[in-house]
Copies of this chain bind each other. A is one copy, B any other.
Amino acid sequence: MTERKPGKVWGARFAKATDPRAEAFTAAIDIDRRLYKHDIAGSIAHARMLARQGIIPAADAEAIVRGLEEIRQEIDAGRFVFRRELEDVHMNIEAALRQKIGEAADRLHTARSRNDQIATDLRLYLKEAIGDVLGAVRRLQGALVGLAGANREVIMPGYTHFQRAQPVLLAHHLLAYFEMLDRDAGRFRDCLSRADELPLGAGALAGVSYPIDREFVARELGFARIAQNSIDAVSDRDWAVEFQAAAAAAMMHLSRLCEELIIWSSAEFAFIQLDDAFAGGSSIMPQKRNPDVAELARAKSGRVYGNLIGILTLLKGLPLAYGLDLQEDKAGLFDTVDTLLATLDVLAAMLPSLRVNAERMGAAAAESYTLATDLADYLTQRGLPFRQAYEAVGRLVRYAEEQGKALGQLSLEEYRRFSPLFEEDVFGRLDVRAAVEARDVPGGTSPRRVMAALKRARRRLEGQAS
């Protein structure tokens, strides 16, 4: 057995040790240690395959597997010391393995390279992370459905251009976010299925000259298939780009939700009240109850957008195949996963605690001429072409506004000044609930449609959970 003092594997050929400044700059271990479970799982599958194919002795493979499992337990238990001069998680583990089992450890890196190894580790990590994200998305969808269900009668003003537009059900509004999250989940699933291929076996970039069984390794590690081109396999980071893009879209949705929660909890809107358990206070203004969680969640969209730009920039104009540029893929990816999960989870925790001010919402829905469209529809249904109905009501609203009156405060005579088609029954249309019920088309806000949508949403969540 060769004596070897711990240090860089490639030290043999170099005349000099690495400069400590370069070592500190290029060290990956502070970031990639997080991958130890995936690295060990990959190495175990690889060692088993090597033995199975007769490339290394079975006894060595057993020693390797046993040793790696011990190392995993040590790391789990916090008893493992990672060393920066060993560069990365792979070399730290390989060095520890040699300490533990001796020469057999020297056979582990047969027929692979760190290039395909790290790609494998990262895909294993990502698959797990996407599983976590899908769970967290579902929980937030559940919280939205729960809040919608608990407030199914509540009517609020629907807004366009941040102006009150038409009355809608709060539940309908909340379910809009359910739809967004559903698309997010779809994007994460698509990312997962595209990323679900095993790079191992690509070697440094060209494949390896041993009779390996990549399909076996793929099965062991739970990959759907193997990567089809070795050069692509080690230089591809599409899965990181695609995941971060999906995460950016999801954070964008959450930033919209949080913007609304912040606005709704303002004194001027007062549509909701935050529970003290989810509100922040001020260091000098004793009266404050701040929507800290929603603000921070909104802000974190920036971080995730930034990570997306980071990986896209990194990859721009990079020649094939692997280069150390790719080492920079990790910090941003981990940060995005952590940020997204934390944000989804804290919002799912907070939503059920919101108190909805139904009265205030309902009153707001009835003000500001939100029923003007219904009046135009009234005239249209009596035969006036819509554009003319719209104009007549436009003049009517202007008149009412000048008089300082609500639509219900005008007399029939006043109505008739703008169109002779108005009859006594027009006043029946001036009701917020009637307006909501009238929008009884698929996707519309009528209670019947929204209840059906809620049911569909619940079924979808159950379907995914099973």
B25 with A162: CB separation less than 8 A? no
Number of this chain's copies in the assembly equals 4
Q: Is A242 an interface residue (CB 8 A)?
A: yes
A187 partner residues in chain B, CB cutoff 8 A: 190, 194, 242
A453 partner residues in chain B, CB cutoff 8 A: 228-229
Given contacts A186-B194, A229-B172, contact A442 B21 (CB under 8 A): no
User: Per a CB cutoff under 8 Å, which of B210, B398, B449 touches A13?
Assistant: B398
B313 with A301: CB separation less than 8 A? yes
B256 with A317: CB separation less than 8 A? yes
Stretch in contact with the other chain, from A70-78, A267-275, A409-417? A267-275
User: Per a CB cutoff under 8 Å, which of B211, B275, B368 touches A287?
Assistant: B368
A 195-237 to B, binary, CB cutoff 8 A, 1 in contact else 0: 0000001111111111110110000000000111111111110
User: For the complex, what is the distance from the CA of A236 to the CA of B319, rounded to whole Å?
Assistant: 23
B293 with A106: CB separation less than 8 A? no
A249 with B238: CB separation less than 8 A? yes
Stretch in contact with the other chain, from A33-41, A127-135, A173-181, A420-428? A173-181
A94 partner residues in chain B, CB cutoff 8 A: 387
- Which of A113, A286, A446 has most B Cβ within 10 Å? A286
Given contacts A313-B305, A316-B301, A317-B259, contact A204 B160 (CB under 8 A): yes
Given contacts A158-B321, A281-B10, A387-B9, contact A207 B109 (CB under 8 A): no
User: For the complex, what is the distance from the CA of A126 to the CA of B110, rounded to whole Å?
Assistant: 49
**Residues of A contacting B: mostly:** helix
Which single residue of chain B is at the shortest CB-CB distance from A211? Answer: B441
B305 with A267: CB separation less than 8 A? no
A288 partner residues in chain B, CB cutoff 8 A: 10, 160-161, 163, 165
A178 partner residues in chain B, CB cutoff 8 A: 229
User: For the complex, what is the distance from the CA of A299 to the CA of B62, rounded to whole Å?
Assistant: 39
B13 with A166: CB separation less than 8 A? no
B293 with A22: CB separation less than 8 A? yes
Given contacts A17-B277, A443-B201, contact A105 B296 (CB under 8 A): no
Q: Is A279 an interface residue (CB 8 A)?
A: yes
A175 partner residues in chain B, CB cutoff 8 A: 229, 232
A-B contact pairs, 29 of them (CB 8 A): A11-B281, A13-B394, A15-B276, A15-B398, A18-B278, A22-B346, A25-B296, A91-B283, A109-B284, A109-B387, A110-B385, A114-B282, A161-B295, A162-B295, A172-B229, A175-B229, A187-B242, A203-B444, A204-B285, A209-B435, A241-B248, A266-B268, A267-B364, A267-B368, A286-B393, A291-B324, A305-B309, A306-B313, A313-B316
Q: Shortest 3 CB-CB distances between A and B: which pairs? A: A207-B444, A10-B281, A106-B385
